[in-house]
Amino acid sequence: MTLKLLFDPTSGKIYGAQGVGKKGVDKRIDILATAIKANLTVFDLPELEFTYAPPFGSAKDPVNMLGYAALNLIEGLSDNIQWYQLEDEIATGKKFLDARTSSEYQSGRLKVDTIHIPLNELRERLDELDKNQAYIVSCHSGLRSYIAERILKQAGFTVQNLDGSYSLYKMANPEGVEYGN
């Protein structure tokens, strides 16, 4: 499931949302439409309560996670770029870092010059990266690249996160992906 939220970065007012996926997207869009009607803001989304049972969903619903992601942008904890900005950002000299596992990386990757360091190896391999170099991080769907972004920023690196990561880029620009070894 991929969700996109349009909101005012100052007030947090929600303007709209889009969703793509197989299961549960309609439920999340219904929730977001209700949030808009009720004049909720992105600041309210992480606090929404949903029914929870492990066989049917996660403790934090994707709508909660959308709220957290919006707050990370508003508070400056994350600096995201969009899939259509990637090539232009790389053209400015930024390096692309893929934080997925080796098997994920081998099954498919973006057609850009890539440094591959799995997230679980990143802390031990920081010395392979140049602190004077700006990086763009990516993973499969965004969580691990956010964690990689936080690790790198805390270590003094300049870094941005590819919003939606590999899965969104692959959907939006399939010609920009190569498969196999």
Tens of pLDDT, residues 17-42: 999 888 899 999 999 999 999 999 99
Claim to verify: residue 54 and residue 104 sit in the same structural domain: no
Q: Is the pLDDT of residue 91 over 90?
A: yes
Tens of pLDDT, residues 68-87: 999 999 998 899 999 999 99
Please give the residue range of the domain that contains residue 17. Answer: 2-75
Tens of pLDDT, residues 114-130: 999 999 999 999 999 99
Of 75, 100, 128, the residue that ends a domain is 75
Tokens of 175: 């010609």
- pTM, to two decimals: 0.81
Of 32, 53, 75, the residue that ends a domain is 75
Tokens of 135: 């990086």
Angle in degrees, 0-180, between the axes of helices 25-37 and 62-74, rounded to the nearest 10? 60
Tokens of 17: 């949302």
The Cα–Cα gap between 47 and 180 comes to 41
Claim to verify: residue 39 and residue 67 sit in the same structural domain: yes
